[in-house]
Structure 1
Amino acid sequence: MAFLGAIRDYSRKKNTRDSAKVDFVELFFDLVFVFAITQISHLLLHDLTLKGLVESALLLAAIWWVWVYTTWVTNWMDPATPPVRAMLFVLMLAGLVLSTSIPTAFGERGLVFAIAFVFMQLGRSLFMLWAVRQHNPSNFRNFLRITIWLAISGIFWISGGLADPEHRIFFWGAALAIELGGPAFGFRTFGLGSSTTADWDINGEHMAERAALFIIIALGESILVSGATFAEQQWNLISFSAFLTTFVASVAMWLIYFNVGQSAAHHKIAATDDPGRIARIAYTYIHVLLVAGIIVVAVSDELILAHPSGHTEPAAIWTSIGGTALYLVGNLLFKFYVAGRPPLSHIAGLALCGLLAAFSGHLSPLLLGALTSLILIIVTIWELKGRRKEPHHA
C-alpha cells in the first residue's frame, strides 16, 4: 500500500523553485550513458569505414532516444518518489546490458541489444500508463499513443536482432525511422488521434539542464580519450603539443555551446507558453547532432594523439574536420531555432572547415588538429564579440 500511495504525488511540482532541479538519481542514471558513449566511440574508432560510420550513427541515435525519452518522463515524474526511482534503477540495469552489447550489436549480440532496447522503451511507457491512469487523462492518452508506436518499432528491433547481421541494418533502420517519426507526427494513432505539443506540458528549465548535462557527458568522453591516450604515449614536445591541441578543442566546444546557445535556449524555453514545442525540436532532435560531433572529434583526438607526426591518414582527416563541422552544424541549427537566425560565426567556421579540407592531405595530424582547434576558437571569439555588441539578446 505504501508503494501505491507514493505514486499519488508522482508529478513534479510545476511553477516552483525546486521543479527544475535535477535529482541526484537522474545523474546516477546518466552514468550508464557515459559508458554507452565510450562504447560507441570505440566502435567507430575500430571501424573507420562507411559501414562503421552508419552502424555507429544508428546505435548512437538509439542510445540518445532511450535517454531523451527517459528525460521527458523524469520531467513529468518526480524522481524523489520510490516508484520512479525504482523505474530508473531497472532502466539502468537494462541500459548496462544495452551498452555492453554495443561492440557486437551488429554481430553475435544483436538480439541482446534489441531486447534490452525494446524493454527500456516499452517498459518505461507502460510504467507511465500505470502511473498517470487516474491522474492525468491527457498524458494517459499521449502515452497510449507512444506505447503503440514503440510496440510497432519493437517488432522491427527484435526482427533485426533475429536476422542475419548483414540484413540487420535494414530492420533497425526501419525501427529507428518509426521511433524518430513518432514525435514529429504527434504519435498519430488510428482511433486515438494525435498528441500536440500543448499536451507535452513540461518544465522547460529542467529539460534544458538535462540536455546540457548530456553534452558534458559527451565532452567528458573526449577528455577521457585524450587523457588515457596521452598517458600511454612517450612524453615529448610533439606528444604534449598534440595533447594540448585536443584539450583546447574540448574547451572550445564547451564554450561554443555554453557561452551563448545553452543560456539563450534556457531562457526561451522557460518563458514560452509552449515548452513542448521547443523541447521537441531543439532538445529531442537537434542535440543528437551535437553529441555525434563530439564523439567523432573524440575519435580524431585519439588518432592524432597516437600518430601526431608523419602522413595524415584519410580517417584522421574526415574525423577531425568532419567532426568539427558536424558539431558546428548542430550548434548552428540549435541557435537558429532558438534565436530565429543562424550565427554568422558558425557559418564562417563551416567555410573554414571546407577550406581546410581542400589541402588537409598535405598536413601532419598534429597540424590538422591544431587548425581545427583554431577554427573552434575563432568561432568562439567571434560569437562572444557579436553578443557583446547586441546586449538586448539574451
Structure 2
Amino acid sequence: MASRPERLLRGSDTPLSASFLELFFDLAFVLALSQLVDHLLHDLNVVGVLRTGLLLTAVWWIWVTTTWLIIALGEVVLVAGLAYADTDLHLPATAAFLLVFATAVLIGLLYLTPAGQLLAPAIEHANPTRLAVRTGYLHLVMIGGLLVTAVGAELSIAHPTEEGDLIAVVIVLGGPTLFLIGRILFSLAIHRRLSWPRVAALFALSGAAAALRLPLLAVSAVATGVVLVVVVLDRAGVFSYRSAGKPD
C-alpha cells in the first residue's frame, strides 16, 4: 500500500480523469468546509478559532491534495455569493462582494503562478516523502487562510458600512495574512525563494489589523489592495530573492 506522502500526487501512469470516489470525496469536503465556515462564523473568539482549526486538521488528514485549495477557493466565492444574495443587493454589499471575488482570484494567482504548477516535479526531484509531507502541512495553513477569508467575506458583505470591531477586522485581514504565511513557506520549501513583497504584505496586513477601525467594506478593500500589489510585484519579479536556477 502506498504511503501517505506518495499518495499526495498522481503517478505518471494514473488516469487524469477523476474517479467516482474522488468526486464523492470532493463533494463531501465542499460540505465540510461550508460547515467549518459556519462554525467559525458563529463562534468568533479564540476558542472558536482553535476548535475550527482542530476540526479542519481532522478533515484534512482524510484527504490532502492541491485540489483541496481549489475547493477552498470555490468555498470563498460560494459563501460570498450566498451572503450577497441575502442582502438587498445595494451598492455597498455589491462592492464588498466584488472585492471578495477579486481577492479569491488574486489568491488563486498567488498560488498557481507558477509554484503550484511546479509542485509535482519538485517533489519528484527531491526527497518525495519529506517534501510531500512538508508541503502538505503548508497546504493546510493556506486552506485555513481561505476558510478565514470566507468568514471575513460573509461579515464584510452582510455589514459593509458598519465599523468593524477588533475581531471582525482581524478576521477580514487575517484570512489573506494566514494564506500568505503558508505561501511564503511554500516557496521556501520548494524553491528556496523569498518574495519580499509577500513578507512586506504580512507586516502591512498585521499593522492594519491592529490600527484600522473602519467600515468593513474599507477593511476588505485594504486586504484586496495589499494582495493585488503582491501579485503585481511578484509577476514582475520585483524585490524577490531566489536561488540560482530556482524559479518560483
Q: Same fold (TM over 0.5)?
A: yes
Structure whose CA Rg is larger: 1
Do 1:336 and 1:343's aligned partners in 2 also have CA atoms closer than 8 Å? no
Q: Corresponding residue for 2:110?
A: 256
Could you list the per-position Cα deviations for residues 174-215 of structure 1 after superposition, in whole angstroms to 9, with x for gaps in the alignment?
A: xxxxxxxxxxxxxxxxxxxxxxxxxxxxxxxxxxxxx22110
Q: Matches of 1:290 and 1:34 in 2, distance apart?
A: 16
Q: Which amino acid aligns with 1:380?
A: V
Change (3 A) 1:262 1:20: farther
Tell me, yes or no, if structure 1 residue 19 matches structure 2 residue 2: no
Could you list the per-position Cα deviations for residues 263-301 of structure 1 after superposition, in whole angstroms to 9, with x for gaps in the alignment?
A: 2323312333x3122111112x11100010000010000
Q: Corresponding residue for 1:167?
A: none
1:239 corresponds, among 93, 98, 105, to 93
Q: Matches of 2:246 and 2:133 in 1, distance apart?
A: 23
Q: Corresponding residue for 1:153?
A: none
Q: Matches of 2:245 and 2:138 in 1, distance apart?
A: 25
Tell me, yes or no, if structure 1 residue 314 matches structure 2 residue 186: no
Q: Corresponding residue for 1:30?
A: 26
Structure 1: stretches of 5+ with no match in the other structure = 1-6, 69-210
Tell me, yes or no, if structure 1 residue 333 matches structure 2 residue 185: yes
Identity of aligned residues (%): 33
Q: Which amino acid aligns with 1:262?
A: G
Q: Corresponding residue for 2:53?
A: 57
Instruction: Look up the SS of the partner of 1:19 in the other structure.
Output: coil
Instruction: Look up the SS of the partner of 2:66 in the other structure.
Output: helix
1:213 corresponds, among 64, 67, 80, to 67
Instruction: Look up the SS of the partner of 1:67 in the other structure.
Output: coil
Could you list the per-position Cα deviations for residues 218-248 of structure 1 after superposition, in whole angstroms to 9, with x for gaps in the alignment?
A: 1111011000110111122211111111111
TM-score by length of 1: 0.57
| Range that drifts further, 21-30 or 217-226 | 21-30
Query: After TM superposition, where is structure 1 displaced by more than 2 Å over at least 4 residues in a row?
Result: 15-25, 264-267, 389-394
Q: Corresponding residue for 1:351?
A: 203
Structure 2: stretches of 5+ with no match in the other structure = 2-6
Q: Matches of 2:12 and 2:191 in 1, distance apart?
A: 26
Kindly report the root-mean-square deviation, in angstroms, between the aligned alpha carbons of the 2 structures: 2.5
Q: Matches of 1:253 and 1:262 in 2, distance apart?
A: 12
Q: Matches of 2:235 and 2:145 in 1, distance apart?
A: 21
Q: Which amino acid aligns with 1:331?
A: R
1:270 corresponds, among 117, 120, 124, to 124
Q: Matches of 2:62 and 2:120 in 1, distance apart?
A: 22
Do 1:261 and 1:331's aligned partners in 2 also have CA atoms closer than 8 Å? no
- Hey, which of these two has a bigger chunk of helix by percent? 1
Q: Matches of 2:234 and 2:11 in 1, distance apart?
A: 33
